[in-house]
């Protein structure tokens, strides 16, 4: 069994498994080289040969235990025919929502529109570099996708006051998302994904009274679906205050924590395998400090099933040598 599955399924940490969110991305010069000639990000995600190459880039450099497929959570709104663009120094920018158009969409249309993602997963999974490692597929949680679909770009610190004004529309979109995210999960698994991670990057924007309806219930539906396909699922509800309650309610196989979570406290509260935690900004400091901080997490979780990762994606300004140092340090721990 691969080291990450060993942690999640057998609850044993062997060989200090490690992978990094956004491990394929802008901090790597070989990625920037490809990106320079491919200004359309969505088109790049839909070029199965290039997205396979990008997915494998970090595995050629570092002894990571998983490949995470080079794609984006916004491929789902794109597959639902909402316009999605990525603007330099701005991030994602989505077009208007046309509910009647989305409601008419069939599974076949959706799969056809983003099929190259699944082709890339097949290519990655069968590559020698991924032997004895996991291919991780992923989706955005319904709440985070709803935020993008309605807000049309990344929210800054809070939601617009009128965000919840059209409840009928919101309920309709949540229903559609539940259906199509499941289709996306199933197709990734059928193509070779061995683990699914659910990113709920904007879970922290909600008040307690709205968590049941927008975070807990819709995510539980996806977790149960993924488990029914016999594939483990990791959840990352970034910024949520009560990780314990989340874990008990949503019941993922493993939980990924953000860098604001106190690792000592969470270890006491949570029984399931834990992933991540270290602040990505630590990689912008020096090796001595990096070693100290990484060791802190490894020490705390030495008797708890743990997968090393960061508390959010690796930052574009990270020096690949620092990543190299981190991976070696974790493996030699």
> Which residues would be at the binding site for ligand CP3 (CB under 6 A)?
21-26, 35, 41, 68, 70-74, 86, 91-92, 138, 154, 199, 201, 313
CB of 108: closest distance to ligand CP3 in angstroms? 25
| CB closer to ligand CP3 out of 56 and 330 | 56
| Cβ(120)–Cβ(70) below 8 Å | yes
Instruction: Give me the helices (H) in 167-282, please.
Output: 167-191, 208-211, 217-228, 243-250, 263-269
Of residues 58 and 305, the one with the C-beta less far from ligand CP3: 58
Angle at alpha carbon of residue 305, lines to 72 and 238, rounded to 5° = 35
Nearer to ligand CP3, 23 or 191 (CB): 23
What's the Cα-to-Cα distance from 131 to each of 6, 64, 283, rounded to whole Å?
15, 12, 28
Choose among 270, 283, 290: nearest CA to 312: 283
CB of 303 to ligand CP3, least distance (A): 28
Q: Closest distance between ligand CP3 and the C-beta of residue 292, in Å?
A: 25
Q: How far is the CB of 82 from ligand CP3 (least distance, A)?
A: 14
- Residue number with CB closer to ligand CP3 (152 or 296): 152
Residue nearest to ligand CP3 (CB): 201
Beta bridge partners of 84: 94
Q: What are phi and psi of 310, to 5 degrees?
A: -95, 175
Nearest distance in Å: CB 34, ligand CP3? 9
CB 199, CB 236: distance < 8 Å:
yes
Question: Which one, 129 or 264, has the nearer CB to ligand CP3?
Answer: 129
- Our CB check for ligand CP3 shows the closer of 188 and 304 to be 188
Which H/E stretch holds residue 331? helix 320-332
Nearest distance from residue 315's CB to ligand CP3, in Å? Answer: 9
Residue 308 DSSP code: B
Compute the least distance from the CB of residue 32 to ligand CP3, in Å: 8
What lies within 8 Å, CB to CB, of 20 at 6+ separation is 58, 64, 309, 310, 314, 323
- Give the list of residues 6+ apart from residue 319 with CB closer than 8 angstroms, or none: 27, 283
Which stretches does DSSP call E strand in the chain? 66-68, 84-87, 91-94, 134-140, 195-199, 233-236, 254-257, 274-276, 306-307
Cα distances (Å, whole numbers) of residue 312 to 15, 295, 297: 23, 18, 15
Name the residue nearer to ligand CP3 (CB basis): 3 or 313.
Answer: 313
Q: Least distance to ligand CP3 from the beta carbon of 314, Å?
A: 8
Query: With respect to ligand CP3, which residue has the nearer C-beta, 20 or 304?
Result: 20
């Amino acid at each position: 069994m691969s080291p990450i599955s060993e942690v999640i399924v057998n609850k044993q940490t062997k060989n200090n498994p490690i992978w990094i969110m956004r491990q394929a991305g802008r901090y790597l010069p070989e990625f920037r080289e490809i990106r320079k000639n491919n200004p359309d990000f969505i088109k790049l995600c839909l070029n199965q040969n290039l997205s396979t190459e990008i997915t494998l880039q970090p595995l050629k450099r570092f002894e990571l235990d998983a490949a995470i497929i080079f794609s984006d959570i916004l491929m789902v709104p794109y597959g639902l025919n909402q316009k999605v663009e990525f603007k330099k120094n701005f991030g994602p920018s989505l077009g208007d929502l046309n509910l009647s158009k989305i409601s008419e969409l069939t599974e076949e249309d959706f799969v056809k529109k983003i099929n190259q993602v699944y082709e890339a997963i097949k290519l990655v999974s069968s590559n020698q570099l991924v032997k004895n490692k996991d291919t991780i597929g992923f989706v955005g949680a319904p709440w985070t996708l709803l935020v993008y679909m309605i807000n049309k770009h990344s929210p800054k610190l809070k939601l617009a006051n009128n965000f919840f004004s059209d409840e009928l529309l919101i309920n309709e979109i949540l229903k559609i998302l539940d259906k199509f995210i499941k289709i996306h999960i199933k197709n990734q698994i059928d193509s070779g994904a061995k683990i699914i991670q659910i990113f709920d990057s904007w879970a922290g924007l909600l008040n307690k009274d709205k968590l049941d309806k927008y975070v807990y219930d819709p995510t539980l539906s996806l977790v149960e679906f993924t488990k029914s396909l016999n594939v483990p699922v990791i959840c990352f509800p970034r910024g949520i205050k009560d990780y314990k309650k989340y874990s008990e309610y949503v019941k993922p196989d493993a939980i990924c924590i953000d860098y604001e979570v106190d690792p000592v406290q969470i270890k006491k509260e949570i029984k399931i395998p834990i992933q991540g935690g270290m602040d990505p900004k630590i990689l912008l400091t020096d090796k001595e400090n990096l070693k100290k901080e990484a060791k802190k997490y490894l020490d705390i979780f030495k008797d708890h099933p743990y997968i090393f990762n960061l508390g959010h994606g690796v930052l574009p300004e990270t020096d690949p040598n620092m990543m190299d140092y981190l991976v070696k340090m974790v493996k030699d721990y």
